[in-house]
Structures are given as C-alpha cells and as structure tokens.
Amino acid sequence: MTTAILKAHYDGEHIVLDEPYELPTNASLMVTVLAQDPERAEWAGLGARAIARAYGDDEPEYSTADLKPQ
C-alpha cells in the first residue's frame, strides 16, 4: 500500500475522512492533530485570497497543447 495524506476531522466520537478512500482492514495510520491557531487561520485566508486573485474568472484556460518542451 502506498503512503497517502488524507484530510479528516473528529466528529466528537470518531475520526472521519473528508473524502472516500479505500483502506484495508487494520491498516496502520499516523494521525497528526492540527492546532486551532487564529493567526494560522489568518495566514491561510490571506493565501487563499491571493490564489483567488491569481486564478480569477478572467484567467484563460490552458491545455496540455499550450505546453512547450524546454
């Protein structure tokens, strides 16, 4: 089995994956609890807004045909 990073949340009783993922029975897992840091949330919001500006609705859609070998 390959290593995967999966988003999940704790619902008060169980750790619940945010997206479906096929896990074998008794699969070994490593869980990291992310701190609820208000400053971290502000930085994440700032980054999300910057990405939204960089990839706005007026941005053209590019395909693989637009790629050029170097």
Asked if the structure places residue 4 within a domain, the reply is no
DSSP 13: S
Looking up tokens 């050029």, which residue turns up? 68
Q: pLDDT per residue over 50-66, tens digit each? A: 888 887 777 778 888 88
- Token pair belonging to 59: 């941005």
Asked if the structure places residue 19 within a domain, the reply is no
Asked if the structure places residue 25 within a domain, the reply is no
Rounded to whole angstroms, the Cα distance separating 10 from 67 reads 42
Rounded to whole angstroms, the Cα distance separating 31 from 12 reads 16
Asked if the structure places residue 15 within a domain, the reply is no
pTM attached to this predicted model: 0.47
Confidence of residue 1 (pLDDT cuts 50, 70, 90): low
Asked if the structure places residue 1 within a domain, the reply is no
Bridge-based pairing state of the strands 15-17 and 8-10: antiparallel
Asked if the structure places residue 67 within a domain, the reply is no
Which residue range(s) make up the domain with 45?
A: 32-56
Q: pLDDT per residue over 7-43, tens digit each? A: 999 999 999 999 999 999 999 999 888 777 778 888 8
